[in-house]
Structures are given as structure tokens and as C-alpha cells.
Chains A and B, each alone.
Chain A
Amino acid sequence: MTSPAVRFQNVSRRFGEVKAVDGVSLDIAPGELFAMLGPLGSGKTTCLRLIAGFEQPDEGHIEIFGARADGLPPYKRNVNTVFQDYALFPHMTVGENVAYGLMIKGMGRAERESKAAEALAMVKLKGFEARRAAQLSGGQRQRVALARALVNNPKVLLLDEPLGALDLKLREQMQEELRALQKGLGITFVFVTHDQGEALSMANRVAIFNEGRIQQVGTPTDVYERPRTRFVADFVGSANVLAPDLAGRLGAGPRWVSLRPEKITLLADGQGAPEGWVSLDGRLASASYQGSVTRLAVDAEGVRITAAVPAGSAPIVTGSTLRLAWPKAAMVLLEGEP
């Protein structure tokens, strides 16, 4: 049995009074494309910095491929980082930036220059060696940062909000490329993001952070379809989180439950709910057209329920009464006291 690429054992990191990371245990498998997802200040970036070695744990241990890493400075870890603002050295050319790690290792000039050229070609920046960082666009800078990290052949590549600074079009293209790169190289990628869409579409597995703790780890389908806590249900995609009393009346035990808006359909007047479904009558408060779907805000039983229905599937008149229905199985029981 091989050891995990990264292992957190009950790791905590405090900044003064604040526990940025609070008792995190986590295994990341070799070759995974792993996402750390969470809001600002949830501890995800600190976890990344703990792997890189910029921070050291106050409690617990970190292993990288079976070797103890806590206490080791960044320059003694075979792990490289793509920084959020890229952190390219402004006094060096693109080529010198990429070859930096190799130069530090003591590799000869000719060899490291050819390796740097290869790495640049890999990120589609062939022939950019002589340019300066200031002459590059944001997307190109990120590719340089990527080449600069990958040329060292790290065991784990860390990416801090890799797509955060790019515009939408470029972001989609980079998502695609990063996935392809990771697959081709077989290197473990760990990236941090606050964008749940990015995490779900790119990662093999996702860890969701809140207030320094991991809420849930799983595949994108897992965390989306079977959120374990109210936080996950709410943060990953949008969900209707129903209180225990209402959920109980709908036959889902007196527990908090999560219900995805797109699981809800509209029933025509008088139409009964199919077998295994539940239904609820409500008054339409507002509707917003979002292209392929229309999001409806419906007031029912004193709560507001959001439903996403195919655009044009129902006449939308604010104030009208609607009958909502969904399969019982669409209600996912959440952890926590009723």
C-alpha cells in the first residue's frame, strides 16, 4: 500500500487568538487533482501554505509521500507552488524565472535552459524566454508561473486560486488545460478556490472548509448530491435547507434536510404527486429568468423555497399559487441536532 501524497494528521495552526486551521485530518492520494474549497478565511489557503512549508503546524503532523514534512522549510520540500498573483521575479526574464529552481539545484546553464524551454513549450509559451514578466498578459503570466513550478518535477503541485484573476473565457480554457496537464504528468495537484463551480468541474475530489475545519471530503458528485452539513448544502451550489419540523411533515424525519432547486418540478392545478413524491402549495414571490432555467422564489409554509424550472415550462405570474413537487429521495438528511 502506497502512502498518500499529502497527509494531514490532526493539524492546527493558530494566528494569535484565531485558529486558522483547527484539527484537520486529510489524505490526498497520489495523482489526484484535489480541490480545497471554502469561503474567505475558512483555512483553505493556510492548509495549502502548510503543505508548501510557508507555515508550520502548531499541532499535528503533515506527511508528504510518507515523509514527515512539518518542521521542514519550503526549500527542503519537493513541492512547488503557483501563487495567486504569480510572484514572478520582476528582475528576471521569463526564461530565468522558469530556470530558477534548476539553477538553485546547481544544474548547468545549457541543460537548464533547454529544460526551461521545454517547460515553456508545455504551457504553450514557446519562444517567450527573453521577455520580461511585465510584458506578459495575466494569462501568460500564469502559464509562466506554472512552467516555473512544473520544471522542477515536483511531487505535489500547489495552486492558490489559480483562475481567480482571469476573465471568464480564459478561465474556462485554463480549466481545461490544467486538467489535461495534470492527467498527462500524473503529478498530484492541490488547488485552492472559493469558486464552487471551479472546484466541482475540475477536481477529482473536493474538501470543503469552513472556520478552519473540513466539513466534507468527497467527489464532486458526493458533495453536491449528498451534502453532509447545512454549510456544505448551502455553499456548494444553492440548496433549500429545510428545518426539521417542515422536513418531518414532508416525511423526511425530524432532521435538517437539503433540497436542490432543480429537483423541484411544478405540478399543474389539480394534478396529484406521483408515488414516492411530496408536494407543497405556495405563492410565487418572484421569478428571475436565467437563460436555460427560471428561478422561482416561492413562499410556502412560512419559508421561502427556491425552485429552478426549465424556462418557459410555466406561466409566471407573481402572486399566483403554485404546486411544487419533488421525489422524497431528493431530500438529503443533514448532520446536526434537529
Chain B
Amino acid sequence: MSTRAAAGRQGGVGEAISDVFFARPGLLTLLLLLPPLLWIGVVYIGSLIALLLQSFYSLDDFSGLVVHDFTLSTYGQLLEEANVGIIVRTVAMSALVTLACALIAFPIAYYAARYAKGWKKALFYLAVMMPLWSSYLVKVYAWKLILAKEGILTWIASGLGMTWLLEGLLALPVIGGPSLSFSYIGTFLVFVYVWIPYMILPIQAALERVPANLIEASADLGAEPSQTFWHVIYPLALPGIVAGSIFTFSLTLGDYIIPQIVGNSRLMIGQAVYTLQGTAGNIPLAAAFTVVPMVIMGFYLWMAKRMGAFDVL
């Protein structure tokens, strides 16, 4: 009855396996997805949940031990003035860094996407990739060298006779400090430098998708270059900017090494978490602190997804 239209080749284990998966394509998909899902699910999500649970415990002030009873008091501590200060400071820094990154990254991305061709395009791409992938610590370290009181910036300033400007900057309240490497200005500069490649690449990816004739069409319809920019290029680049800002914002929000190496003694969220879980042993409050960036980034990702930023990721 069922003389099969087989090609007449020998079977074997390979073919038997292939046949099973051909008959049940969903099975193969499941088997492929299961290991990575288990890994992320158990190792990563599992750990996140463990951390979240800790934030509902509290620290006994006298014994310094963690009390394993459900309480919201740790979140209450988060609202103390000093802690709110830490949060506000960190979020403000993240926002400023993101803004600066977008402003500096845009022309680079725009040039690379629109004008660079052939080898020059490859060069641009590599020139962005190299600093992106080169060592984070090395990059931070480089700025320690640059910003040091005896370093190259001071040297340049004195060479140009602009020492007064540098000193004026450092004399400013809040953002100033004894030297650039102990001031918010310094922290800000390093953050911008270290994260900027993360902003360039998605903007470039978004701009690459804008057909050149859209810009010509806009000009053809009588738009000034600035109108074309605001009505055509900017809206189309926006998903790229949002995608890039996910990185710049999130990375700044959680970083504890840059402000520790270049900055003043006022803590940011990352440093607070680091010292709380380490020397202070207050894991519950550290956990509660990490919930702040988690909530902010959760909201951020949700917004980004709605704006279609994930397409250019």
C-alpha cells in the first residue's frame, strides 16, 4: 500500500533523528530553547528573585544580623533623606550623561551612516568598536591619568594660558572640587567617554535604515535642511537614540567603579549597594537599593519597546 517515494538511500541514526524532528518541528524548537532558558531562568532570574526577597527582610540594628521576617521597613529606610539624595544624584547624573552622549554621538553616527563609504565606513565602524570593546578599566584608568592634577589637562590649560578657566570650573559649587579627578565634572566626563560608543552604534543602525531619497524627497517638497532634520531625520533616528540611551542610562545607574576612582566622596547608587552589602553587611538595604534601577530600567525598557527601539538593537 505505502510503497514510499524514497530516494533509495540507506537510513541510519542521523536519518532517524531527522525524521523525528521533521515530524515534530515544535519538539526541536523546544529542545533548543530549553537549555538557555533554564540557564537564564535559574541562574539569572532565580538570583534576581533571591535578591528581591532579601529586600523584604531587615537588619537588626543591635546585633547587625539579618532578620528573616517579612517587612517593608527596609524600603522605608530608602526614603531617608541621605538615601533619597543618593538616588536623585545618580538619576540626574545618568540623565545628563545620556543627554551628552546623544549630542556627541549623533554627528559621528550621522556622518558614518550617511557620508562614509567603502573603506572609510569600515574605518569608522572599527574606530567605534575598538573603544567599545577595549577594557572598561583601562578606559577609566586613562581618565585618571588625564584628569590628575599633574596630568595632561592641567598641562594643556597652562600651555594655553587658561589655568584660570580650569580653576574657575573647579571653584564652582557642587560640581567643582579640589581637582578634576575629585569632582562631579570628572565623573561626568569619564561616564560620557566610556559609554559613548554604546550610543553611536544604535543611532547609526537607525540612520542606516533611512533611505537617502527620503531626505531628497523632503528637500524636494520644500523643506529647509533644519526642517528636514527635525521632521524626517530626527524622528527616524529616535528609536536608535532610545536604544542607545538604554545602555548609557542603565550603565551609569549601576556603576560603582567610575565614581569610586574619579569623583568626590558622595555616593552613587552603585557605591551605596557595594558598601552596604560589603563592609556594612546590610544586604536587605542593598537589595532595596538595587530595586530602584530595576524599576527605572523596567519602565525604560517598556517605553523603549513601545517606541520600537528594540528593532535597532
Contacts and interface: CB of A to CB of B under 8 A. Distances in A.
Nearest to A74: B22
Interface in B1-53: 1-7, 9, 18-19, 22-23
A315 interface: no
Nearest to B4: A67
A75 B18 contact: yes
A248 interface: no
A73 B22 contact: yes
Contact of B5 (A105, A106, A155): A155
A79 B1 CA distance: 20
A69 B7 CA distance: 12
Nearest to B3: A67
B175 to A, nearest CB: 55
A105 B3 CA distance: 20
A69 B5 contact: yes
Contacts of A71: 23
A264 interface: no
A76 B2 CA distance: 13
B117 to A, nearest CB: 20
A69 B9 CA distance: 16
A77 B19 contact: no
Q: How large is the interface on A (under 10, 10 to 19, 20 to 34, 35 or more residues)?
A: 10 to 19
Contacts of B19: 73
Contacts of B3: 66-68
Nearest to A70: B2
A75 B7 contact: yes
A106 B7 CA distance: 12
Interface in A56-73: 64-69, 71-73
B9 A67 contact: no
Contacts of B5: 64-65, 67-69, 72, 76-79, 155
A77 B18 contact: no
Interface string A74-93: 01111100000000000000
B44 to A, nearest CB: 33
Contacts of B9: 105-106
A105 B7 CA distance: 9
B7 A67 contact: no
A9 to B, nearest CB: 14
Contacts of A67: 2-5
A78 B22 contact: no
A77 B6 CA distance: 5
With most chain A CB atoms within 10 A of its CB, the pick from B2, B4, B7, B9 is B7
Contact of B4 (A75, A76, A79): A76
Given A73-B19, A73-B22, A68 B4 contact: yes
Contacts of A66: 3
A170 B5 CA distance: 35
Interface string A137-165: 00000000000000000010000000000
Contacts of B23: 71, 73
B22 A77 contact: no
A75 B7 CA distance: 8
A219 to B, nearest CB: 27
A155 B5 CA distance: 10
Contacts of A75: 7, 18
A317 B82 CA distance: 91
Contacts of A79: 5
A295 B104 CA distance: 62
A153 to B, nearest CB: 10
Interface string A8-41: 0000000000000000000000000000000000
Contacts of B18: 73, 75
Interface in B142-184: none
A68 B6 CA distance: 10
B7 A68 contact: no
Nearest to A154: B7
A311 B22 CA distance: 59
A68 B2 contact: yes
Nearest to B21: A73
Contacts of A106: 9
Contacts of A64: 5
Contacts of B6: 72, 76-78
Contact of A77 (B1, B2, B7): B7
Given A67-B2, A68-B1, A76-B6, 9 more contacts: A68-B2, A68-B3, A72-B5, A73-B23, A76-B4, A77-B5, A78-B6, A105-B7, A155-B5
Interface of B: 1-7, 9, 18-19, 22-23
16 contacts: A66-B3, A67-B3, A67-B4, A67-B5, A68-B1, A68-B2, A68-B4, A68-B5, A69-B5, A72-B5, A73-B23, A75-B7, A76-B7, A77-B5, A105-B7, A105-B9
Interface of A: 64-69, 71-73, 75-79, 105-106, 155
Closest 8 A/B residue pairs (Cβ): A73-B22, A67-B5, A64-B5, A68-B2, A67-B3, A76-B6, A77-B5, A78-B7
